[in-house]
Amino acid sequence: MSVGTLVLLRHGESVWNAENLFTGWVDVPLSEKGVAEAKRGGELLKAAGVLPEVLHTSLLRRAIMTANLALDAADRHWIPVKRDWRLNERHYGALQGKNKKQTLEEFGEEQFMLWRRSYDTPPPPIEPGTEFSQDADPRYADLGPDLPLTECLLDVVKRMIPYWESSIVPDLRAGKTVLVTAHGNSLRALVKHLDGISDDDIAGLNIPTGIPLRYDLDEALQPLKVGGTYLDPDAAADAIKAVANQGR
């Protein structure tokens, strides 16, 4: 049985991306630039003839809005949608709301990169009841003890892969073109899994905002091309460098 096409789309630039703030689970909107990126992402899908038949998104508005705008631009606004917290951005713990440049200056390059890109070192946990915590957020009311107070990328892999297996894989196995609209670090976790990237090498992988990344998968759900294909490779290369240099 053939499997379908997977398209990964990181949300367009958010207002906190623009201000260089650690975001995580804080539910900030798209910036004007992010809105334009999302629409262009949809135009790229349409031009390439990659037409999603089902959408999976996180519970955060920057991913939801990106999907709406992109699908509208591709005339696919009507497809079925599944949303799940397991596609949310990595919870950034006590760093949520903090400026990346100031954090780099305060804690130094090594600690900054450990928090930002190491595989298994989470930032300090967020204190429940504080401005940028999610403990009172009704959308996570059913999570109970699963509600994270901080996460490293390994934690994201552990909570995201069960959703991949239970919800996304069946859509692919049904031969569908599947759009997953999510976040820098939740998509890094998925790409790590798909491409078999090592725990060390994943530190060097960054995902740009708003540019669809297409994966064609074989029957074992292995990518036919490692790393997939960005629908605008030149723009992706520039944007990847910019994400890597955040904080500087």
Ligand X SMILES: O=C(O)[C@@H](CO)OP(=O)(O)O
Among 6, 9, 23, 50, indicate the residue that binds ligand X (CB under 6 A): 23
89 binds ligand X (CB under 6 A): yes
Among 185, 214, 215, 223, indicate the residue that binds ligand X (CB under 6 A): 185
17 binds ligand X (CB under 6 A): yes
Q: Which is nearer to ligand X, 142 or 200 (by Cβ)?
A: 200
Annotated binding-site members for substrate: 10-17, 23-24, 62, 89-92, 100, 116-117, 184-185
Active site residue 77: no
Among 116, 159, 192, 214, indicate the residue that binds ligand X (CB under 6 A): 116
Of 56, 31, 25, nearest to 139 by C-alpha is 25
24 binds ligand X (CB under 6 A): yes
Residues 215-244 that bind ligand X (CB under 6 A): 243
Of 100, 116, 88, nearest to 28 by C-alpha is 88
Residues carrying an active site annotation: 11, 89
* Positions in the binding site for ligand X (CB under 6 A): 17, 22-24, 89, 92, 116, 184-185, 243, 246
